[in-house]
Amino acid sequence: MKRLVSRKLAEIKDEPRAREVVRHVLSENFLAEEKIESEVKALLLENAKLIKDSASDYKRLFTLAKTKLARERGFIL
């Protein structure tokens, strides 16, 4: 908040309220990302045998799937 105000990127009249709003937005963002991660884990778990048989890298597949789901939902990682 202090950086935004000092750089004149934002004018804040009620700092406690502004902090509350920022916390709320960040919290929602983290929850949305956790939901996407949970869905990706479930998707990869459903296809675990295929992944194992193809010798694919789980972490790489996780990242690709997460990025795709996020893009489809308009979520910026």
Residue 69: pLDDT band (50, 70, 90) is: very high
Distances (CA, A) of 73 to 11, 45, 60: 31, 21, 20
Whether pLDDT at 20 is above 80: yes
User: Which 3-state string (H, E, C) describes the chain?
Assistant: CHHHHHCCCCCCCCHHHHHHHHHHHHHHHHHHHHHHHHHHHHHHHHCHHHHHHHCCCHHHHHHHHHHHHHHHCCCCC
Provide, rounded to the nearest whole percent, the portion of the chain with pLDDT above 70. Answer: 100
Digit-coded pLDDT (tens) for 24-57: 999 999 999 999 999 999 999 998 888 878 877 8
Provide, rounded to the nearest whole percent, the portion of the chain with pLDDT above 90. Answer: 55
CB atoms < 10 A from the CB of 41, how many?
Answer: 13
